[in-house]
Chains A and B, each alone.
Chain A
Amino acid sequence: MGEVVVARILFLAIAALGLLAALGTVLSRNLVHAALHLVGFFFCVACLFVMLEAEFLAAVQVLIYIGAVAILLMFGIMLTRNTRGDDATSLSGPWRLPGLVAGLCLFGALVFGINNAVSPSGASPWAGEAARPSLVEREGEPAWAAERRRAVEDMGRVVGEEFLTRYAMAFELAGLLLTAALVGAVALAHRDEVGAAELPPTVEALPADSAEPVGTAAS
């Protein structure tokens, strides 16, 4: 059972690192440092996906969260005036307690939800080692075990098949949601043509305090 011990140790190490990164996210004064800690946490989550034999999800986790959401966060930080974290970035006093309560409630809801998850096909859920299908074929195993083994071995394909058959509606709704997000962002952030036209077109960035342009675009 050497593998199980190695796996446990790895899990504990990754979980501990993830916790540290999460703490760093909350406690960092500097916003970019906080975002970096968050990236570290995303990476730990990707490692956990690998340990759960979901390498497709691990790759997606890195692609979406580290490759895209982190960039979005950084650009978001560059939009704010407070990039150094010198001013108060943390919550003010009266908001601390409600924040703590809300966080604990969310934690409780997640723990309850994950532990009582019902798998959609009616088979026993993945949680709990006894019900986990083996990657090695066993005699007399139920049909869902073979199905799940296929899902583990070629996750991209099975996810695709499920998307296009059982979850077709959810799939299209996801497309609609993405479009809505795009349209919403554009509508919120975009200034009207008239306003934009009045801005000097060559200024790429303006300092927060002075009106003097620091850099000019290539055009």
Chain B
Amino acid sequence: MVAYNYVFVGLLLLTAIGFALAPLALVALIAPRKRSLAKGDTYECGVKTHGETWVRFRIQYYIYAIMFVVFDVETVFLYPWAVAYGGLGTFALVEMVVFLALLSAGLAYAWAKGVLRWV
């Protein structure tokens, strides 16, 4: 029967989930369970929690996330290029330098605008 490598990945996924859940299940069976009001409180250094927890975060996090997505997509382009490079030659290198230059220009713009500075 012909199957795929990724059958193993599926099995490994199940194993990993099982490996994570089995001790949790065991804990549920044997560990003590005594609920109390104080125990269920949010732990913020013993001080009563104050104000809203799920607050709005600064835009900076979002900009970093955007840059991450852009560069992550870039790497997805780079991998096939790197694999195929040996069979192609100089034209491939020129193309990739152009591609990298474009991306670097984006990075330089972000840098010049000062968004790479964490405040």
Contact = CB atoms under 8 A, between A and B. Distances in A.
A55 B76 contact: no
Interface residues of A, number: 63
Interface string B7-49: 0000000000000000000000000000000000000000000
B119 A201 contact: yes
A51 to B, nearest CB: 9
In this complex, the member of A53, A161, A163, A175 whose beta carbon has the largest number of chain B beta carbons within 10 angstroms is A175
A84 B92 CA distance: 49
Contact of A80 (B56, B79, B105): B56
Interface string A175-218: 11011011101110111010010010100111111101010010
A109 interface: no
Contacts of A182: 66-67, 70, 106-107, 109-110
A75 B65 contact: yes
A78 interface: yes
Given A68-B72, A190-B63, A164 B106 contact: no
Contacts, number: 172
Nearest to B9: A50
B83 A157 contact: yes
A127 interface: no
Given A163-B77, A163-B81, A78 B95 contact: no
A45 to B, nearest CB: 14
A181 B99 contact: no
Contact of A189 (B51, B59, B106): B59
Majority SS of interface residues in chain A? helix
Given A75-B57, A176-B102, A201-B119, A189 B80 contact: no
B109 A186 contact: yes
Contacts of A11: none
B106 to A, nearest CB: 4
Contacts of A64: 69, 72-73, 76
B88 A161 contact: yes
Given A189-B62, A209-B51, A157 B99 contact: no
A76 B3 CA distance: 40
A160 interface: yes
9 contacts: A3-B2, A72-B62, A79-B57, A156-B80, A163-B84, A175-B102, A182-B70, A207-B55, A208-B55
Interface of B: 1-6, 50-52, 54-59, 61-63, 65-70, 72-74, 76-77, 79-85, 87-88, 91-92, 95, 98-99, 102-103, 105-107, 109-110, 113-115, 118-119
Given A78-B61, A159-B80, A163-B81, 17 more contacts: A53-B4, A67-B72, A79-B56, A79-B59, A156-B79, A160-B79, A163-B80, A163-B84, A164-B84, A178-B103, A182-B67, A182-B107, A186-B113, A190-B114, A191-B59, A209-B51, A214-B55
